Amino acid sequence: MTTASDHNKKLFIETVGCQMNILDSELVVAALKNQGYELTPDVAEADTVLFNTCSVREHAEHKIYSALGRLKFSKRTRPDQVIGVLGCMAQKDQELIFKKAPHVDLVVGTGQLSEVPRLIDEARTSRLRGLAVSLDRKEGTRLEVSSSFQSYDPLREPQMRPSPYQSFVRIMIGCDKFCTYCVVPMTRGPEQSRPPVDILRETELLAQQGVKEVTLLGQTVNSYKFTQDGKVWRLADLLAAISEIPEILRIKFVTNYPKDMTRELLLAIRSLPKAARYLHVPAQHGCNDMLAKMKRGYTIEQYREMMARITEVLPDAAVSSDFIVGFCGETEEQHQKSMDLIREFRFKNSFIFKYSERPGTKAASLFPDDIPDDVKRARNNEMLELQNRISEEDNAQFIGREVEVLVEGFSKTAQKTGHHADHGPGQLTGRTMCDRIVVFDGNPRLTGTLANVRISDVSSTTLLGQMVTYEQQTTPGSILPILS
C-alpha cells in the first residue's frame, strides 16, 4: 500500500472565479506545501489535480466539467492520480459531481477547505472518495448553518499571490442579501464577519512578509460589522486600524453594496490617505422594476443619491460597476435604462454579464429565463462598447498628468515575450490609487515601490507613460529618493 509520503507530491491547481477563490487557492496550496507538495503547471505531471470552482454563471461550471472530462482518459493511465473539486460548485452540486465525473476523488465546499489535505491523503491511501460540504441554508438553524461554513484563513503562500507585494485579506464570508439571480448565499453560506483582532494579526504578518497592498475581501465588504470587547467595528474602523501598519501603503476593498455606502465610510476614506480611491459598487441594472425583480434593495434614485455622496466627499474616486443584461423579462426599453445609467455615471469600468439562470435561486423558481441568447449577446456587446468608449475618454484626461503607481512587476507583454528580471529593464505595470492600470518602462527592482509616471497615451483599459522618479520606501522614516 502506498502512503502519503511515497508519492511525488506534485500539485496542479486551476482556479476560476472571483478574488475569494484566488485567496482560497492560496490557502489550500499553502497547507499542501507545508506537507511537502510542490506546484506544477503541467497537469500530466501532477499526482494531485485540484479545481477551485465558481458557480456564479453556468459557463464557469461547464468549463470545469469539460476539464474533468479530459482527465477521465489520463486517469486510465495514471490510476494513482487524485482529482479534487473544491469551492462553490462543490458546495452546490455535492454528490452530483461524483455522478457526472466518477473519476473525481474529493469534493470539498467553500466552508470545509481545511479538510483538503486529509481527504487527499485518504483518497491516495485507501482510494476512498471524500465529500466535505457545509449544510444547505435550510438544513439547520442560522447558527448551525453558519458554523458549518468555516472561515478558512490559515497559512499563506506567496507564490499564489497576484504579486509578492499584494495580498488579499478576507474580512467576511458568505452573503445574506439573496439577490434573486445569485447563487452565492447558497455556495458561501450565511454572512459572517471575521473578528478585527484576527484580521489585524493576519495583515501585520503579511506586512512583515513584504506585502505593501492589501485588498480586503467580502461579498458586501462595506456591510462589515463585528462587536469586539463592546465596540462595534465597521469597515471604516478596519481601514483606520490597518492604516496604522507602517509597511502597508495601500488598502483596497471589494465588493461594495450600494445601500451600505454610508457618508461615514466615505468620510473615513477621505481622512485615510492609504485607503484606495476606488469604489466597486455594482448597480446591476438601470431600471427600478428590474432592480425590484432582482431584489437588490435599492432604487435608481437611491443609487443616484449614493453617487452624489461619493462625488461630494471623494471627488477623485473612481467608481466601477457590474451589470447583468438579459435578466428575466428584460425589455429593450429596460435595457436602454441600464445604458443611460452608464452614460450618466460614466463608471471607470463595468463588468457586464449575460444573465445565467442558476438552480436553487429565487429567479430560477419564479421567472422564466426568456431572453434569447442572441439578444443577451447583442445587449452585452452594445453595453461593452459604450463602457469602453467612456473608459477611454475618461482615461484620456490623464494624458500629460503625473500619477503615482505601486509597481507590480513586468507587464503581460513583457512576460509573454519571456522578459525576466535578469534581462534588466523592461515594460512594467502598476496601478494608481484609483485602480487604473499603468504600463511604463523601468527596472524590475522597482517592483513593490511607488513610482511616478507621466502619462502620454491611453486605451480603454490602460494608461501608458514614462517614469519620472520613484521613491523606495524601505522602513518608515527612511525614504530613499533615487533617480530613474
Task: For ligand SF4, give the closer residue by CB, 259 or 445.
Answer: 259
Closest approach of Cβ 257 to ligand SF4, in Å?
6
Q: Return d(Cα 235, Cα 11) in angstroms, integer.
A: 36
Choose from ligand 5AD, ligand SF4, none: what does 220 bind? Cβ within 5-8 Å by kind. Answer: ligand SF4
Closest approach of Cβ 351 to ligand SF4, in Å?
12
Region binding ligand 5AD by CB under 6 A among candidate stretches 116-124, 302-310, 354-362, 406-414: 354-362
- How many residues line the site for ligand 5AD (CB under 6 A)? 12
Q: Tell me: does residue 294 bind ligand 5AD (CB under 6 A).
A: no
Q: Return d(Cα 82, Cα 219) in angstroms, integer.
A: 31
Task: For ligand SF4, give the closer residue by CB, 178 or 367.
Answer: 178
Among 356, 391, 432, 447, contact with ligand 5AD (rule: CB under 6 A): 356
Among 322, 392, 404, 441, contact with ligand 5AD (rule: CB under 6 A): 322
Contact present, 165 and 211 (Cβ < 8 Å) = yes
Task: For ligand SF4, give the closer residue by CB, 23 or 68.
Answer: 23
Buried residues in 248-276 as b, exposed as e (16+ CB within 10 A): bbbbbbbbbbbbbbeeebbebbeeeebbb
Contact present, 346 and 394 (Cβ < 8 Å) = yes
Residue-by-residue DSSP string for 308-342: HHHHHH-TT-EEEEEEEES-TT--HHHHHHHHHHH
Residues 200-229 that bind ligand SF4 (CB under 6 A): 219-220
Task: For ligand SF4, give the closer residue by CB, 101 or 325.
Answer: 325
Q: Tell me: does residue 282 bind ligand 5AD (CB under 6 A).
A: yes
Residues 64-103 that bind ligand 5AD (CB under 6 A): none
Closest approach of Cβ 218 to ligand 5AD, in Å?
13
Contact present, 84 and 32 (Cβ < 8 Å) = no
Choose from ligand SF4, ligand 5AD, none: what does 178 bind? Cβ within 5-8 Å by kind. Answer: ligand SF4
Q: Using DSSP bridges, classify how beta strands 402-410 and 426-431 pair: parallel, antiparallel or unpaired.
A: antiparallel
**DSSP 8-state symbol, 111:** G
Contact present, 214 and 245 (Cβ < 8 Å) = no
Q: Tell me: does residue 178 bind ligand SF4 (CB under 6 A).
A: yes
Task: For ligand 5AD, give the closer residue by CB, 20 or 242.
Answer: 20
Q: Tell me: does residue 298 bind ligand 5AD (CB under 6 A).
A: no
Q: Tell me: does residue 440 bind ligand 5AD (CB under 6 A).
A: no
Among 20, 88, 97, 184, contact with ligand SF4 (rule: CB under 6 A): 184
Task: For ligand SF4, give the closer residue by CB, 277 or 285.
Answer: 285
Q: Tell me: does residue 185 bind ligand SF4 (CB under 6 A).
A: yes
Q: Tell me: does residue 306 bind ligand SF4 (CB under 6 A).
A: no
Contact present, 458 and 481 (Cβ < 8 Å) = no
Within its chain, how far is the Cα of 210 from the centroid?
Answer: 21
Among 12, 226, 303, 355, contact with ligand 5AD (rule: CB under 6 A): 355
Q: Return d(Cα 263, Cα 222) in angstroms, integer.
A: 12
CA distances from 224 to 104, 194, 234, 455 (A): 37, 9, 5, 36
- How many residues line the site for ligand SF4 (CB under 6 A)? 10
Contact present, 110 and 134 (Cβ < 8 Å) = yes
Closest approach of Cβ 103 to ligand 5AD, in Å?
29
Bridge partner list, 192: 173
Among 7, 78, 177, 445, contact with ligand SF4 (rule: CB under 6 A): 177
Q: Tell me: does residue 319 bind ligand SF4 (CB under 6 A).
A: no
Choose from ligand SF4, ligand 5AD, none: what does 356 bind? Cβ within 5-8 Å by kind. Answer: ligand 5AD
Region binding ligand 5AD by CB under 6 A among candidate stretches 27-35, 349-357, 370-378, 443-451: 349-357
On the CB side of 143, how many CA atoms lie within 13 Å of its CA? Answer: 0
Bridge partner list, 431: 406, 437
Contact present, 212 and 165 (Cβ < 8 Å) = yes
